[in-house]
Structure 1
């Protein structure tokens, strides 16, 4: 087995296309297929099933993926140590979500840009279910999650902290300023929500019960906040995303606590040996993101 062959195998396994792997690696397609065939001959097994114009990993191919990742990570460590490379470099593909990208990650991105300029971060917006799938398939190196559960099949996680949520409405809403809002009072409200599969949307849906409340999908957090401020409904969002609007009085936080808890997490595929750059990202995320995860947002502007 050669390191180059393993790198080509991993790229092909992640995109499931010889043509796309060749383009991403800047190889001729014949070079990709030749390396894969040579690796298969060396191991004595087929790594991909060829199905017409499509390919998929065989059982042997799936078993090879974590070993290939560890071998490549070790090779990178060896180059850095023996070659005397001090500065971290390379690319990291990170699955994330709007609330974290816009409101929690700027300090982390700024830190990497200034302290580790040779590390290229590629952010891939996705909901948690898509991020988990990307981690298991090797499409993402790391991924942020915001979930009630902190254990997930096939991945390991670093829990950054509890993610406070805020139920917000327009300042003139009938429930604004009411002490001890009860869950039953929300059942007749219109809820402006993110897409299906979002953890805080699904948590609120479960709390209200099937058929209770009218959920209208508004897409982005910014669109939801504008809709709420205009009196079109209420919304449950991460508290960090509405802190400024509450502080300035553009939104009011309702006195209601969700009957569930979400945790912000950073995840990677189970059994994967993290590279130096990936470990740096995890360590800095734990340090920076966790510091803000327990911030308290007031019920109303002072």
Structure 2
């Protein structure tokens, strides 16, 4: 059973597309199809059901997939162990989200760019459920999460920091300077937010669900901050994302405390053997994010 064929099978099984697998592997689609068929022939089973333009794993394919992933991980570990260079090398697919990429990760990305040029970081912007699924499937090596829960099925996770949230408005907003604001007070204001699926947006909306206030959606944090600073409403955002605006006075913190806590976490598939360059990334993420808090 050739490792090359297993690697191709694992990629097709992960993305469930011969076309996409060929593009990510740098092969012609006919080569990917031929390699999968060679593997099926050597095993004497069909690994995929062809459903028109779609495919899905057969029972045999489902049984083979975890072995293919383990063998790919062992092969990477072996290559790293016998590499002639002392410098870490390799690619790391990282699932992340806008608030972390923009406001938590720049020191980590800069550190790796300058200190470990042989490590290539590929950032994949996704939100919680998508990131967790991609980690379980092996599409991502590691993923950053911002969630109230700190345990996730099929994943190992490490809490890097609690992520304080703050309700902000423009300095001339009617709620600015008020004390003891209630959820009803907040719900009565125009709410500005990022897209649904963002963890703090969803929790905020759920907290105010009794009043079912509409949200003015801006999509990105930067656009949300500009809208709020311009007097369009109030928004709940991570404190780290609005720290400079609060210091400059273009945004002000309102006297309402979110009744939930989010934690920035780093996660990877449970049982996955992290190669040295990925372990290094985990260690430096832990150090640099915690230094930001200090």
- TM-score normalised by the chain length of structure 1: 0.91
Asked if 2 retains the 8 angstrom alpha-carbon contact of 1:96 and 1:125, the reply is yes
Q: Is the 8 A contact 1:8 1:35 kept in 2?
A: yes
**Over residues 262-292 of structure 1, what are the superposed CA-to-partner deviations in whole Å (9 max), with x where a residue is unaligned?**
1111112222222222222211111112333
Corresponding position of 2:239:
239
Q: What is the count of residue pairs matched by the alignment?
A: 294
- CA–CA distance in 1 between the matches of 2:26 and 2:11? 12
CA offsets, 1:104-138, max 9 Å, x none?
11111111111211211111112212212222232
Q: Distance in 1 between matches of 2:274 and 2:7?
A: 15
Partner of 2:158: 158
What's 1:211 paired with? 211
Q: Does 1:290 align with 2:282?
A: no
Question: What is aligned with 1:29?
Answer: 29
- The two structures have a TM-score, normalised by structure 2, of 0.93
Q: Return 5+ residue gaps in structure 2 as ranges.
A: none
Partner of 1:171: 171
Deviation at 1:100, TM superposition (A): 0.6
Q: Shift of residue 171 of structure 1?
A: 0.9
Secondary structure of 2:219 counterpart: coil
The reply on whether 1:81 has 2:81 as its aligned counterpart is yes
Partner deviation per Cα, 1:4-63 (whole Å, 9 max, x = no partner): 112111221222222332233222333322322232344443321122232112233233
Structural RMSD (CA): 1.8
Conserved 8 A contact 1:189-1:233: yes
Residue equivalent to 2:226: 226
Matched with 2:126 is: 126
Find the residue that maps to 2:180 and give its secondary structure: coil
- Where in structure 1 do 4 or more consecutive aligned residues deviate above 4 Å? none
Preserved CA contact (<8 Å) 2:184 2:211: no
Q: Are the counterparts in 2 of residues 180 and 256 from structure 1 also a CA contact under 8 Å? A: yes
Query: In structure 2, do the counterparts of structure 1 residues 206 and 20 end up closer, same or farther at CA, with 3 Å as the change threshold?
Result: closer
